[in-house]
Chain A
C-alpha cells in the first residue's frame, strides 16, 4: 500500500462519522464508556480462552450494522495493523507444546489456543475502537474524554494530533514527491537522504508549532482548550449503556457458548 492510499483511508474513517444513524446520535460519553467496558471485559478473559470470546463479536457487528459502517473497510484496517498481534503470539505454538485438546485425532497444543485467543482479542478490541471513532468522530471522542474528567493537557494533545496529522502528512508527501522528481528513478537514494528529509520535516514542524501557538495566543488562549457542551445524556443513551453492560456481564460470567455446544452434542449423539 502506498503512502497516498493509506492517507486517504484515514480521511475516510473521518467521513464515516458524518453519517446519520442511531449509533451516531448516541452521546459520545455513552459510547466511550461502553467501548471501554467492552475492552476491559474482553482482555479480562484468561490466556487460553477461545470459545467464550466468540459471542463478543456481536457488539462490533451490531455497531457496524446499525451504524452503516462498511465491513470490508474495518476488516482491511484490522489487517493493516495485524502484524503487531501476530508477532506477539506467533511463537506460542512452538514454546507451549502441551496438548490441550484432541480434535478428530489431531492434537492441539496449548500454544495454538493462546495464539488464537490473542488474535481474537486483538480483532475484538481494534474493531470496537475503530468503530467508536467511525461513529463518533475523533474530536467527539476527545471532548467526551474531557467531560469525563481526563486532564486538559492530555485531551488538547490528542486534538492537535488529529488536526495536524493531515497537515503533516501533506507536508511529508510534498517532500517525498520533490525527492522522487529529482531522483530520476534511482531506487534507494540512500539512508542519508532519508535522514535529511526527516530533519527537514522536523524543522518545519517546529516552525509551524510556533506559528500555531502565536495564533492561539492571539485569540486569548490560556492553557485549557474550551469547548461547548453540545449533548445531553438522554434515555436512549442510558438504555444503550444498560444493554451493553447486561450483554457484557452475561457473556463474561455464564459460559453460554459452551452450553450451546453441550446441547448440540446431546442432540447429535
Chain B
C-alpha cells in the first residue's frame, strides 16, 4: 500500500511572535515504518508533530499525507488518517468517562451505535484496559491514563500514529508495557521523545532535529550509537549503550 506515506517538503514555519521553529524540514516516511524524532528541548519536535494533521500550517513548503497535501480543505480528511497521542493525557481525555472518551472519535466519524461500541471494545482491549470503561479519567493512574489516551486514538483506526513523549510520567513497568504494546502496532509510527532507549527499542529509523532542520536521518542503531554527534546536539548515548 502506498497511501500511508508522510512527506515533508521544504517545510518552514514561523510562529506569530516571530520565532522560526522550522527552517526547511525534508523527510519521507513510507508505509509501516516506525520513526523516532529526537532533538534538544525547543528543537521543534512538537511543532513538527502539530504539522502532521494540519493544526499548524507551514509558512511555506508542503506536508503530504498519503496522496493528499494538507490544506484547509483536506484537513478533515487528514485527521481521520493521522492519530496524534499527546504528551499530557489530561489534555487528551476530555470526556467524563473512559467509554465516552474512546467513543468520541468514532461518533464524530458518524458510525452507528453498534459499530461505535465495537470500536471502543477493540481499542480498549488492545491496551488491556477494558475494565476501566466506566471510570472517570481523573480517578485513573498516570499509566492507565496514557493507555486510555492511546485507545482513544486507536478507536479512530488511523493509518498513521504520531506520539509526543508517550513514556513521560510513566513508571518503569508501565513504560515497558507501553514499549511492548507499541511494537505490536503495524501502523506507520512517528514518536517524538527524549527517551532514547524507547526509540532504540521501537523505531528502526531515527530523525534528529536541531535548529528547526533535520540534522541526521538514518537507522536508529547507527545514529544513537554516535557519541560525539549526539553530544553536539544536546543528547547523549542511550543508557543501554553507556555501560557502567
Q: Please give the residue numbers on chain A whose beta carbons come within 8 Å of chain B beta carbons, in ascending order.
A: 11, 14-15, 18, 138-139, 142, 159-160, 162-164, 166-167, 208, 211-212, 214-222, 225-229
Contact = CB atoms under 8 A, between A and B. Distances in A.
Contacts of A211: 86, 88, 91
Nearest to B104: A219
A97 to B, nearest CB: 50
Given A211-B88, A219-B104, A14 B156 contact: no
A220 B96 contact: no
B97 A139 contact: yes
A208 B138 CA distance: 16
Interface in B141-166: 152-153, 156
B67 interface: no
B83 A218 contact: yes
Contacts of B187: none
A216 B105 CA distance: 8
B: contact size bracket: 35 or more
B136 interface: yes
B100 A139 contact: yes
B76 A14 contact: no
Interface string B20-52: 000000000000000000000000000000100
B50 A214 contact: yes
Interface of B: 50, 53, 55, 76, 79-80, 83-84, 86, 88, 90-92, 94-97, 100, 103-105, 107-109, 113, 116-117, 134, 136-139, 152-153, 156
Given A225-B104, A228-B116, 10 more contacts: A139-B97, A159-B96, A160-B94, A163-B136, A163-B138, A211-B86, A215-B86, A218-B55, A220-B156, A227-B107
A224 B76 CA distance: 16
A142 B95 CA distance: 12
A204 to B, nearest CB: 12
Given A218-B84, A219-B156, A220-B156, A226 B107 contact: yes
A138 B96 contact: yes
26 contacts: A14-B136, A14-B139, A18-B134, A138-B96, A160-B94, A163-B95, A163-B138, A167-B138, A208-B90, A211-B91, A214-B86, A215-B91, A217-B55, A217-B79, A218-B53, A218-B55, A218-B83, A218-B84, A218-B153, A219-B153, A220-B105, A225-B95, A226-B103, A226-B108, A228-B107, A228-B117
Contacts, number: 84
Contacts of A219: 79, 104-105, 108, 152-153, 156
Given A166-B138, A215-B91, A221 B96 contact: no
A168 B164 CA distance: 22
A166 to B, nearest CB: 4
Nearest to A166: B138
Chain A, interface SS category: helix
Contacts of B116: 228
A18 B139 CA distance: 12
Given A220-B79, A220-B108, A220-B109, A163 B91 contact: no
Contacts of B94: 160, 163-164, 212, 215-216
A142 B138 contact: no
A39 B198 CA distance: 57
Contacts of A215: 84, 86, 91-92, 94
Contact of A222 (B88, B108, B153): B108
B96 A163 contact: yes
B55 A228 contact: no
Given A139-B96, A218-B79, A208 B108 contact: no
Nearest to B75: A217
A52 to B, nearest CB: 38
List the 4 closest A-B pairs by CB distance, nearest first.
Answer: A220-B108, A139-B96, A226-B107, A219-B105
B134 to A, nearest CB: 8
A164 B94 CA distance: 8
Nearest to A171: B90
B91 A228 contact: no
B91 A159 contact: no
Contacts of A163: 94-96, 136-138
Among B50, B92, B117, B152, max chain A CB count under 10 A is at B92
Nearest to B155: A219
Contact of B96 (A162, A214, A218): A162
B113 to A, nearest CB: 6
Contacts of B92: 215
A164 B95 CA distance: 9
